[in-house]
Amino acid sequence: MSMTQGIYTVAENIHLTDAIMRMRLLGDTSSLTAPGQFINIKLEGKFLRRPISVCDYDGESITIIYKIVGEGTRQMADMKPGETLDVLSGLGNGFDVKKSGDRPVLVGGGVGVPPLYHLCKRLIAEGKTVSVVLGFNTAAEIFYQKEFEALGATVYVATADGSAGTKGFVTDVLRTLDYDYFYTCGPMPMFLAMEKIMTTSGQYSFEERMGCGFGACMGCSCKTKYGNKRICRDGPVLEREEIIW
């Protein structure tokens, strides 16, 4: 794993919904090698860094999408363009695009949606026919549906209250779809529901409370069929076949 530390400049920090923000950071992106990796952000007055998944990146900037859930993310939401952040970049293993079939489905739940965006870009660049299933609680919480469509993916939305798309959960859409591989990021209840109905191999991206984010503290360990792994360094993406639920 390569990891770099640098000072990044906020280029954009806007609301996508009431609680979901998108921030674009200018700085070194050389240590990012795969979709699904994350960065770890130092915030003024906070001891531990905040791990946030990378939504997209290019040669000069990193885009993250985050939810305002506590003091740290509230502080991030108040940042203005031109302000700077100390960031560790290039963390985690990310999604392995080589394992995809020709017709992968990408499944995102809520704030788990962002890391699928760059993955979708990569898969489409490789000529895959990509379906995307996005799950939200309600219509007002939907973000990035159009952005995935603009990449050329077929996008399905499910909302728990039925205010947009299919009423229900991502699994209600997935049951009707044809796919030969899957990638997913989202909350644990969504994973458990998917695990019951998915018919192919796939990759799950996990979330866990982390200390360091780069494998030193053993704060985010989990057991797998191939031994203990650290979500931050050996994950956050694990293959379906190795996961112990």
Partner 1 sequence: MVNTNVTLCGISMDNPVIPASGTFGFGYEFAEYYDINCLGTFSFKGTTLEPRFGNPTPRIAECTAGMINAVGLQNPGVDAVIAKELPKLRECFHKPVMANVSGFSLEEYAATCQRLDACPEIGWFEVNISCPNVHGGGMSFGTSPEAAASVTRAVKAVTTKPVIIKLSPNVTDIVSIAKACEEAGADGISLINTLLGMRIDLKTKKPVIANKMGGFSGPAIKPVAIRMVYQVAQAVKIPVVGMGGVSSAEDVIEFMLAGATAVQVGAANLVDPFICRDIVADLPRVMEQYGIKSLSEIIGQAGR
Say which residues have a Cβ less than 8 Å from residue 5's Cβ, sequence separation at least 6: 86, 87, 88, 89
**Do the Cβ atoms of 135 and 169 come closer than 8 Å?**
yes
Q: Do you know the residue count of the chain?
A: 245
33 binds partner 1 (CB under 8 A): no
**What residues have CB less than 8 Å from 216, skipping those under 6 apart?**
none
- Shortest distance (Å) from residue 2 CB to partner 1: 8
Do 93 and 3 touch, CB atoms closer than 8 A?
no
The token pair that represents 45 in the structure block: 């007055």
**C-beta closer to partner 1: residue 56 or 207:** 207
**For residues 139-198, which are near partner 1 according to CB under 8 A?**
none
Least gap, CB of 217 to partner 1 (angstroms):
5
Among the residue ranges 22-30, 41-49, 107-115, 133-141, the one whose residues contact partner 1 (CB under 8 A):
41-49
- Pick one of 74, 99, 223, 225: the residue that binds partner 1 (CB under 8 A): 223
Provide the b/e sequence for 105-124 (b: ≥16 CB within 10 Å): bbbbbbbbbbbbbbbbbbbe
Kindly state the tokens that stand for 37. Answer: 């990796």
209 binds partner 1 (CB under 8 A): yes
From residue 71 to residue 100, the character string flagging contacts with partner 1 as x (rule: CB under 8 A) and all else as - is: -----------------x------------
- The DSSP result for 2-20, as a single string, is --EEEEEEEEEEEESSSSE
**Interface with partner 1 by CB under 8 A: which range of 43-51, 101-109, 127-135, 157-165?**
43-51
Q: Is 245 in the site for partner 1 (CB under 8 A)?
A: no
Q: Please choose, out of 20-28, 163-171, 178-186, 202-210, the segment that lies near partner 1 by the rule CB under 8 A.
A: 202-210
In the complex, the residues that contact partner 1 under the rule CB under 8 A are 1-3, 5, 42, 46-49, 88, 208-212, 214-223, 228, 233
